Amino acid sequence: MAGILLEGEDVTVEQRAAHARELSARMRDLSRQRAAEARSAAGGDKLARAHRIDGKVIFDREVAAGAYYTARLNKSDHLRIIDLEGRQAVDFLCYDAHDTENRYNAANTIKMNRSIYVGKGFRLYSDRADILMSVFEDTVGSHDTIGGCCSTEINYIRYGIEGTPSCRNNFIAALAEHGMRSRDIPANLNFFMYVPVAEDGSTEIVEGRSEPGDFVDLAAEKDVLVAISNCPQIYNPCNGWDPTPIRVVHWRPE
């Protein structure tokens, strides 16, 4: 990533790590200033709208920065994911609850929706081309399908820092609650994350476009398991350099 990664054959791991730590700390301070300005400009109307649920609330939880969430949804249930402070990447997976080998398939989803950017009306397809969930409502209009999840291992390669928290580790912990393993993790979807692609095919992760109170509402098209990692990444701008909490609401239309 231009200006973020310290690259070159003569760069040591220690130099790469020092660069990543210094840049992260500097950008986090700037991000917190911008976040405060965004909250002030947005006011409370958007958050109030996000918190209004037109149905029966089954479960309502704030998920801390860097934490995970997993649940089973029955067909026709909804899951609302609210970005409370803006620019917070939320890594997402879903599975057929009755056959977890039939899971979210990024390539099928991109092909059938003819877009790499998720928005309202977008359908999430499985390995067997079943529709697992659909985007019922969305206030952002562009979510990522290609960036995948961070991992402790890739963070070390890119930033020279060992033992970082990661979305892959969160997915492993979430899926273990359902008797699943790391091999059950496919390429995931990233709500509120922005990964633009240039005409020449080059791409990089940049700061997301979501504001405090933006949300996405997913409807289960069959019984599903969902796993969410509220991304802990601090060494690139996917979370605005400063991971923040989200809110998830499992609800049912009445």
What's the gap between Cα 114 and its chain centre? 20
- The separation between the first and the last C-alpha atoms of the chain, rounded to the nearest angstrom, is 46
**What does the mean pLDDT of the chain come to?**
95
Q: Report the pLDDT averaged over residues 44-63.
A: 94
Exposure of 131 in the CB half-sphere (CA atoms within 13 A) = 14
pLDDT digits (tens, 9 = 90+) for 5-44: 998 889 999 999 999 999 999 999 988 888 888 778 777 8
On the question of pLDDT at 138 being above 90, the answer is: yes
The domain segmentation of the chain, as residue ranges, is 13-253
Q: What angle separates helix 152-159 from helix 13-42, to the nearest 10 degrees?
A: 110
Q: Which residue has the tokens 């499992």?
A: 250
| pLDDT exceeds 70 at position 125 | yes
Q: What is the mean pLDDT of the segment spanning 169-196?
A: 97
pLDDT at 2: 54
CB-based contact 119:141 (threshold 8 Å): yes
Q: What is the pLDDT of residue 35?
A: 81
Q: What is the rounded distance in angstroms from the CA atom of residue 206 to the CA atom of residue 175?
A: 28
Residue 178 has pLDDT above 90, yes or no: yes
